[in-house]
Structure 1
Amino acid sequence: MSTPLDLKALKARQQAAWASGDYAVIGTTLQLVGERLAEACDLRWDEKVLDVAAGNGNATLAAARRGCQVRSTDYVAELLKRGEERAQAERLKVVFEVADVEALPYADGAYDAVISTFGVMFAPDQAQAARELARVCRPGGRIGLANWTPQGFIGQLFKTLGGHVPPPAGALPPSRWGDEEQLRSLFADSIGALNASRQQFNFRYRSAAHFIEVFRTWYGPVHKAFASLDSEAASALERDLTQLINDNNVAGPSSLVVPSEYLEAVITRR
């Protein structure tokens, strides 16, 4: 008989992974996604917006730039500090607060919009995270999400990592959030309407080696994966990642541009 998945232990591992390196180095390059999501959600001046699993604040800043009253949350305090530095530099008023997306400390229906870019998808208890997003969003409000798809480049990158450092038995892949039908299942009766479209984000680096160097140094999950392997196994992972990256490079041999598909979804709360 299989042992039940220990979600608490998995969350602790993930929290340690995201706190390692410095996600902000990669996160700031993804700002365009936050801006697109803010427009897709049609955010309005003075609306109350909650950014969950906000990282270093891409969606947070996009909402604040549109005059919203924004609360930016994550369970990694170090990432929120990076977001706060960015908000201060732009003189944007944002409240930053450590909070777990699976247990949000806010009242039912407290927000006009609840948003997340490449954040909530990594919650260990996916069903509970979806319930919390729906709970704190008012009826008629919007839940805006940007999630990597299973078949896209980052979805394949995580699949490659999992081939070298297997996730705990029973853990659901984060890329489920990048599948429209899975989103419909997760949010179920909370959905009044769901509009989803596939978008592309282009990663731009000098080469596959440069991409791996940056992600190995700064991106928590890749950083932790390499750190857990001996030199031979790490070399094998590097070879597989190099192959994946080069197979997806559309820039030719002199540079690196890798399109990565993600699902942009806006759920109108029933």
Structure 2
Amino acid sequence: MTTATAADREMAARQRAIWATGDYPTVASDVVSPLGRVLVEASAIGPGDRVLDVAAGTGNAAIPAAAAGARVLASDLTPELLEVGRATAAEHGLEIEWAQADAEALPFVDNEFDAVISCVGVMFAPHHQRSADEMVRVCRPGGTLAMINWTPEGFIGQMFVTMKRFMPAPPAGVQAPPLWGNEDHVTALLGDRVADLALQRRTLTVDLFGTGEEFRDFFKANYGPTITSYRSIETDADRVAALDDALAELGRRFLTGSSTMQWEYLLVTARKK
């Protein structure tokens, strides 16, 4: 079990603040909610399975896992998101255990879970090898590891590339989230500790935005990382306008004259040796 240092705790506090900003529950429910069901089905989770959803947010994957009959523990850094998930699960009559936890230092014993999953969650932990090691550690031998991660080339990956130009350089050692959507990167992180590793690129159809500007304004109002990008340049009107234009153009590029976008993600499934 990894022990967090003072620097790790400071980094975790910054991460919590980012995801508590805005209204991520609206992003989860209005945009990415179908991915949780995709991940649960790909993991073949069923009745009686002990499942850990890491960086669970509001329970996008935890809730369908519980609905499939699994015994689910949903963990996340951000208590505000867990509270929303707890209320949603209660509305559906589902029993889920909710725990505040850092993906890089999970407070669980070795080999505890039949399945360890994460739906566009763990990818945002700053040190990829640490969180990969923790996911493998708490999964039992023969158990399932499964993730959905945005790809670098896909829409969300390109959004982070766009925002990066307007943000301060990250601390040393922090890795870009969309790397988790690169097959070679994931293979290297998991190494020889897994078998039956399957990596599939798929797309999520998003029909919420009619224009690039609608996409930009939705994420500018609701998505913590986008809000944080704007806050870092809020005293520079020219840079704010430039980011406005860049995000709207990104939206237009992926709409390509239609009313829907295709957001690429990587579906990862494996078995712990």
* Structure 1 length-normalised TM: 0.93
Whole-Å Cα distance in 2 between the matches of residues 25 and 109 of structure 1? 34
1:250 Cα deviation after fit: 4.1
1:164 Cα deviation after fit: 1.1
Measured on the aligned residues, the alpha-carbon RMSD in Å equals: 1.4
The 5-angstrom pairing of residues 19-30 of structure 1 reads: 19-28=20-29, 29-30=31-32
Q: Which AA in structure 1 matches 2:43?
A: C
Equivalent in the alignment of 1:155: 157
Whole-Å Cα distance in 2 between the matches of residues 258 and 13 of structure 1? 31
Q: Which AA in structure 2 matches 1:17?
A: I
Identity of aligned residues (%): 37
1:7–1:124 Cα contact (<8 Å) kept: no
Equivalent in the alignment of 1:122: 124
1:251 Cα deviation after fit: 4.9
Q: Which AA in structure 1 matches 2:19?
A: W
1:263 Cα deviation after fit: 0.1
Equivalent in the alignment of 1:245: 251
Equivalent in the alignment of 1:3: none
2:216–2:251 Cα contact (<8 Å) kept: no
- Per-residue CA shift, 1:192-212, capped at 9, x if unaligned? 220111110122223222211
1:148–1:175 Cα contact (<8 Å) kept: yes
Equivalent in the alignment of 2:16: 15
1:15 Cα deviation after fit: 1.9
Give the unaligned 5+ runs of structure 2.
1-6
What is the SS of the residue equivalent to 1:124?
coil
Whole-Å Cα distance in 2 between the matches of residues 31 and 158 of structure 1? 20
- Per-residue CA shift, 1:149-200, capped at 9, x if unaligned? 0111100000000011143154211111101111111011211220111110
Equivalent in the alignment of 1:227: 231
Q: Which AA in structure 2 matches 1:246?
A: R
Provide closer, same or farther for how the CA distance between residues 77 and 169 of structure 1 changes in structure 2, counting only shifts above 3 A: closer
1:8 Cα deviation after fit: 4.8
Whole-Å Cα distance in 2 between the matches of residues 78 and 258 of structure 1? 29
What is the SS of the residue equivalent to 1:143?
strand
Equivalent in the alignment of 2:145: 143
2:12–2:77 Cα contact (<8 Å) kept: no
Q: Which AA in structure 2 matches 1:110?
A: E
Whole-Å Cα distance in 1 between the matches of residues 272 and 81 of structure 2? 28
The 5-angstrom pairing of residues 1-270 of structure 1 reads: 8-28=9-29, 29-168=31-170, 170=172, 171-203=174-206, 204-229=208-233, 230-252=236-258, 256-270=259-273
What is the SS of the residue equivalent to 1:164?
coil
Paired positions, count: 262
Whole-Å Cα distance in 1 between the matches of residues 167 and 85 of structure 2? 30
- Per-residue CA shift, 1:89-120, capped at 9, x if unaligned? 10011011111111111111100000101100
Between 1:243-252 and 1:216-225, the stretch displaced more is: 243-252
1:7–1:125 Cα contact (<8 Å) kept: no
Q: Which AA in structure 2 matches 1:167?
A: A
1:184–1:191 Cα contact (<8 Å) kept: no
Whole-Å Cα distance in 2 between the matches of residues 169 and 141 of structure 1? 34
Q: Which AA in structure 2 matches 1:11?
A: A
1:52–1:114 Cα contact (<8 Å) kept: yes
Give the unaligned 5+ runs of structure 1.
1-5
